[in-house]
Amino acid sequence: MRDFLLIGGMVLVAILVGGVLFFFGPASLQSDVNSAISANGGSTSTSTVSYTVLVQGTNALSVTGRSNYRIRTNDDLKTLWVLIYGDHGVSAIPTVDFSKYEVLAIFDGTHSNGGYTVQVKSLTDANAQRLVVVDHVTPGSTCVTTSSITSPFQLIQVPKTTFPLTHTDETRVSACP
């Protein structure tokens, strides 16, 4: 019985000390925990976001540098489409319900030869932000590539969010036979 009371007392003291530190401890501890919880609707979990590839290619006409775009209106999508395909529009502009979705566009920039690709590797929501992991593939030294200028890109449709976007670029070298 004595051991039970001793253990129970230690647990009670630990709970009290934790509560005192949380409510009266350093302000940085309180704000970090509270902002993480409230920003994600009371949860700090990470959720995978599904997406649909709208178009992917290797020759974006007017986008020469590494860049990302977040498209929230049909007019902005039309403007981006002209940057990719010019005024001729190789294919029809995809239909997107912008009341439910938005479009993310990833451009790898201009390369002096082929063998380069860019694509979304993963998409997650966590801590009140949406993280896009971008996979950049470069040709290996044994790869046979075209000797033409390329500009890889990908457009994806994602569920609409108010979260700010952040991205991480990962580069890997293609292993060619």
Which own/partner contact pairs does 137-140 have at CB distance under 8 Å and 24+ positions apart? Answer: 137/171, 137/172, 137/173, 137/174, 138/171, 138/172, 138/173, 138/174, 139/113, 139/114, 139/115, 139/173, 139/174, 139/176, 140/173, 140/174, 140/175, 140/176
pLDDT one-digit tens code per residue, 115-166: 999 999 999 999 999 999 999 999 998 889 989 999 999 999 999 999 999 9
Q: d(Cα 60, Cα 2) in Å, to the nearest integer? A: 76
Residue 50 buriedness (CB in 10 A; 0-12 / 13-18 / 19+): exposed
Q: 36 vs 47, which has greater pLDDT? A: 47
pLDDT the model gives residue 2: 63
The count of other CB atoms within 10 Å of the CB of residue 161 is 14
Helix (H, G, I), strand (E, B) or coil at 82: helix
Whether pTM > 0.85 for this model: the answer is: no
pLDDT number for residue 64: 85
Provide the pLDDT for residue 57. Answer: 92
